[in-house]
Amino acid sequence: FQMDTTPESYLDLFPLDAIVYLTPDSENVLEDISPDKVYVLGGLVDESIHKQLTLQRAREQSLQTARLPIREYMVKAPNSRNYYSEILAINQVFDILCTYYETRNWPVALKAGVSSGKGYVLREVAEQ
């Protein structure tokens, strides 16, 4: 992975059809990572959760959206708080993407990046 920082907007740096805005509210599942695409991690620096806000932002900018395949590879694990969340910190999403890029294996990447505190476990772990 190459990472650069710039004060410029991604909208000014890349063609709109190359940008994929990652948001947990997307209906589209990220199945693979393409070197021809630019992935924007839709994040908020906020303690409260604003449902649909990152999806709304992407739609306003006419961007493709996708979500990590948490529902496809993970299941809700019983927990005392009955808490389940697919909303991850930016560093967790970045770690998942890096691990997936190296391994091309979503279960391995999700296991490495989705903490148990989110209430999800890999599907095969739950079936054992």
| Predicted confidence (pLDDT) per residue in 75-90, tens digit | 998 888 888 888 888 8
Query: Is 128 a member of any domain?
Result: no
Query: Is 18 a member of any domain?
Result: yes
Q: Which residues are catalytic?
A: 46
Q: DSSP character for 42? A: -
45-70 average pLDDT score: 82
Task: Write the CATH number for 113.
Answer: 3.40.1280.30
Instruction: Encode 64-93: b = buried (16+ Cβ within 10 Å), e = exposed.
Output: ebbbbbbeebbbeeeeeeeeeeeebeeebb
Helix (H) or strand (E) holding 65, with range, is strand 64-66
Query: Is 4 a member of any domain?
Result: no
Query: Is 2 a member of any domain?
Result: no
* CA 96 to chain CA mean position, Å: 8
Q: What is the mean pLDDT of the chain?
A: 87
The runs of H, that is alpha helices, within the chain are 10-13, 53-60, 70-73, 90-103, 106-113, 123-127
| Predicted confidence (pLDDT) per residue in 71-125, tens digit | 999 999 888 888 888 888 888 999 999 999 999 999 999 999 998 888 899 987 6
The domain total for the chain is: 1
What is the residue range of 16's domain? 10-122
Query: Is 3 a member of any domain?
Result: no
What's the predicted TM-score (pTM) here? Answer: 0.84
Share of the chain above pLDDT 70, in %: 88
Is there a contact between 1 and 45 (Cβ–Cβ < 8 Å)?
no
Query: Is 93 a member of any domain?
Result: yes
CA atoms within 13 A on the CB side of 50: 11
